[in-house]
Structure 1
Amino acid sequence: MPLQDHMQLVSVDDHLIEPPSLWEDRLPGKFREAGPRIVRMDMSKSAGDEGLSAALLNAARQGKETAASERLADVWVYEGRIYPNIGLNAVAGKKPQEYGMEPASFSDMLPGCYDVHARVRDMDIDGVQSALCFPSFPRFAGTVFLEGQDKELALLSVKAWNDFHLDEWAAAYPDRFIPMIILPLWDPEAAAAEIHRCAAKGAKAITFPENTVGLGLPSFYTDHWDPVFRAAEETGMPLCMHFGSSGKPPITSPEAPMAVMIALFGTNSMDATADLLFSPVFYKFPNLKVALSEGGIGWVPYLLERIDLTWERHRWYQNVNKEVRPSDLWRRNMFGCFIDDFEGVARRHKVGIDNIMWECDYPHSDSNWPNSREYVTKILQEVPDEEAHKIVELNARRVFNFPRP
């Protein structure tokens, strides 16, 4: 049966492409040259550029052979380092045959990728009422600024992104966007302060790496992140751990095509789940919420069963909690998020009806735009109305404290 008219779609994983002037408009004058800015680059002449990153070169070389005039790309420059706008991150409206990794220009994208007014029009076309939007240039968890040599500039850049998101993007349509922030991950105390600063401005969500060790940072098993987790708990803001935010994509061999990595990305969320359920995090911060963004849910019943079995047999000789079953922590603290997951929906009661949220993923390649409402109806056609309403709207509004106006 179709979704009932009173059920609104709330996506907990969309993305925005930062407009070119975001940092130039907000950074102090002395930092504007070193801070993030857009440069138009001729990719046909850039192969020998000393500052061009290997990732950008590889992406360009994978592109189709075209005339030099057609190889122009808009790239971000930050402290002299070059970061491409990867084309695959902005493919809404294109056919799969047109997807590619080559760097993109703003002219290659739908305006809804970077213009909030156009985004709302695209959401209306898609039947999506509200969305949570992750960063693009700063990466999903803002980890680009970990690479900053000037940490004063890096902190100001983090704050500039947050102010843009809170004061301009989400504020333009307060009932349409769940306001999200990034953190200065190199300094937990500064990160906690930024959480409190942004909570006072209306922030509702925090993007955070699904594995900090891959970024050269301390793990969840240490007390390093306690200021961050405490601030998130105090402000009631969930941590959104998007797959791939650790900088460690799942790949099996150097020769494997990118398709292997894409197919296995959900394993990043599985790793994060096992890590968190065996770590001290949810015992120290029992009200902390974690959403596994774009991780899918079909794997959850198996992994919870496996984790519980491991806990039952092996907890006695290890430094893990011996009283609380890990799957109980899942139901209290963690949430699975899906775009396409017929298997997960079929086993939704093993996942937990209250622990499932829906995602659109506009403008990425997994999105079903402009047919999201039609596609969600297909996925949930055998699901009772009460459960479907929780999955597409009510759970997200509860977890992110984002009620209907």
Structure 2
Amino acid sequence: MGDHSRHVIISADCHGGADLTQYRDYLAPAFVDDFDRWAAEFTVPYEDMKGPDASRNWDSSRRAAELESDGIVAEVIYPNTVPPFFPTSSLASSQDGVAGAADLARRWAGLRAHNRWLAEFCQDLPGRRAGVFQIMLHDVDAAIAEVRWAHEAGLTGGVLLPGAPPGAGVPPLYDRSYDGLWSVCEELGVPVNCHGGGAGPRTGDTPVDDMFFLLDLRWWDINRFRHLVLGGVLARHPGLKVVFTESGIGWIPRELRKLDRLFDSMRSTGTGGGIAYDAASAIDDLSLRPSEYWHRQCHAGATFVHPTEMAIRDAVGVDKILWGGDYPHLESTYPFSSEAVRTAFSGVPVADTERMLAGNAAEMYGFDLDRLRGVAERVGPTHDEVGAGLDPATLPPEAAGCPAFAGLVPGAAKVRMGDNRGSGK
């Protein structure tokens, strides 16, 4: 990536969306009257989308200025605001809670409106925003058509894969009915993004339900990985690229070891060990071990990565890790992203740091690093600053709200992430 003195930082995990009334202009005409009725009764459910900072989601100039002030020169934009006809953030809604065909049609129209708004929003800052577009899984042909439209429209952030938990009304992700979707993503080089919190069902809206939803998030994220690997999706589509974002990275080496042992034991043609499986195996058609599929096709969106996670970077794969800051969520690294980078990447070789902060994201999402360096030379932290790290005692108390600083400053246990009802997740 050159001998430049400052790091290019791409956040592979940011969030955005239109103000509620803005979506009206992007809806298909047949849904406008329904939108007016829905919007008249809708109340925004998230506190951080009601106050003066809500505009961070859609105010292009404010967003660009704040990210630059934080050392970030480009971003991958996942959804955040509530799209038309959804009760909550689409990221948190998964496929569950849909009452019937009419609701499905309205929600699909709402997601398509978001995608069209997002395409224009990314064009406001060419080359520095990669928008992640949305689909639903109830109509695979419609999803395939949306992938082709989004690719043509320049939404380079790839597709957000909805959850398909039990009760969602759609088949599990390893079902062959989705093969056409995987094929078009493979054909067009469209990344498939799995964002933390989007794979599992919600059991209700009480504080107890919220607690268990948070506790179960990681399990559902890992389960989605298992379905794609052991279910044969990655084997059938070797050119498919999958990114698991905001799920942490500490689970990855453990899960790969576990699945490799399971794989060796389950194969009916092998001796295996440790796990009994007394029938012809469902995984006999897999030519690679799970860890090999990970290293061939999978990546980790390492949102607010912690120094303890950097310690296992080689086991995950330095070429697999994409740093993210989670702007504008309450638990994001903003406005301490430079401090978060210095904390996590202290002592890490410059070449490895460059890959994880920018190179991997540029390859995945099509950013032009030469184009971004001009901005980075103005706002990015220097190689020396990042390599030297920082003294945690110099961090302000407000930094304790971000998991990147967990255990490093007083109050870090009181992570803002604990009130996810305020941040759309």
Q: TM-score range by the shorter chain?
A: 0.7 to 0.9
Rounded Cα–Cα distance in structure 2 between residues aligned with 1:355 and 1:36: 44
Aligned to 2:401: none
Match for 2:343: what amino acid? K
Aligned to 2:45: 85
Q: 1:122 to 1:288 in 2, by over 3 A?
A: same
Q: 1:245 to 1:189 in 2, by over 3 A?
A: same
Question: Which of 148, 162, 182 is 1:209 aligned to?
Answer: 162
Moved beyond 6 Å, runs of 4+? none
Equivalent residue of 2:35, what SS?
Answer: coil
Question: Which of 79, 91, 106 is 1:140 aligned to?
Answer: 91
Match for 1:158: what amino acid? L
Question: Which of 156, 161, 174 is 2:114 aligned to?
Answer: 161
Are the counterparts in 2 of residues 221 and 280 from structure 1 also a CA contact under 8 Å? yes
Equivalent residue of 1:354, what SS?
Answer: helix
Aligned to 1:21: 21
Rounded Cα–Cα distance in structure 2 between residues aligned with 1:379 and 1:37: 48
Q: 1:114 to 1:247 in 2, by over 3 A?
A: farther
Q: 1:159 to 1:259 in 2, by over 3 A?
A: closer
Aligned to 1:293: 245
**Deviation of 1:307 (Å):** 0.6
Aligned to 1:172: 124
Aligned to 1:245: 198
Runs of at least 5 residues in structure 2 that lack an aligned partner in the other structure: 84-89, 269-279, 372-425
Aligned to 1:121: 65
Match for 2:72: what amino acid? V
Aligned to 2:324: 359
Rounded Cα–Cα distance in structure 1 between residues aligned with 2:36 and 2:229: 37
Equivalent residue of 2:299, what SS?
Answer: strand
Rounded Cα–Cα distance in structure 1 between residues aligned with 2:350 and 2:217: 30
- Between stretches 360-369 and 146-155, larger displacement belongs to 146-155
Are the counterparts in 2 of residues 21 and 37 from structure 1 also a CA contact under 8 Å? no
Aligned ranges 1:266-277 → 2 under 5 Å: 266-277=218-229
TM-score normalized with structure 2 length: 0.74
Equivalent residue of 1:133, what SS?
Answer: strand
Question: Which of 360, 366, 372 is 1:401 aligned to?
Answer: 366
Aligned to 2:336: 371
Aligned to 1:323: 287
What value does the CA root-mean-square deviation take over the aligned residues? 2.8
Deviations 1:280-325 (A, max 9, x none): 1011111111111101101111110111011111222421135311
Question: Which of 283, 303, 311 is 1:346 aligned to?
Answer: 311
TM-score normalized with structure 1 length: 0.77
Are the counterparts in 2 of residues 23 and 37 from structure 1 also a CA contact under 8 Å? no
Is 1:219 aligned to residue 172 of structure 2?
A: yes
Deviations 1:241-260 (A, max 9, x none): 11121342599xx9858456
Q: 1:144 to 1:306 in 2, by over 3 A?
A: closer
Equivalent residue of 2:294, what SS?
Answer: helix
Is 1:185 aligned to residue 148 of structure 2?
A: no
Equivalent residue of 2:267, what SS?
Answer: helix
Runs of at least 5 residues in structure 1 that lack an aligned partner in the other structure: 41-76, 91-103
**Deviation of 1:152 (Å):** 4.9
More helix by share: 2
Count of matched residue positions in the alignment of Structure 1 and Structure 2: 344
Aligned to 1:10: 10
**Percent of counterpart pairs with the same letter?**
24
Are the counterparts in 1 of residues 78 and 131 from structure 2 also a CA contact under 8 Å? no
- Between stretches 341-350 and 169-178, larger displacement belongs to 341-350
Is 1:336 aligned to residue 300 of structure 2?
A: yes
Is 1:231 aligned to residue 195 of structure 2?
A: no
Aligned to 1:93: none
- Between stretches 355-364 and 206-215, larger displacement belongs to 206-215
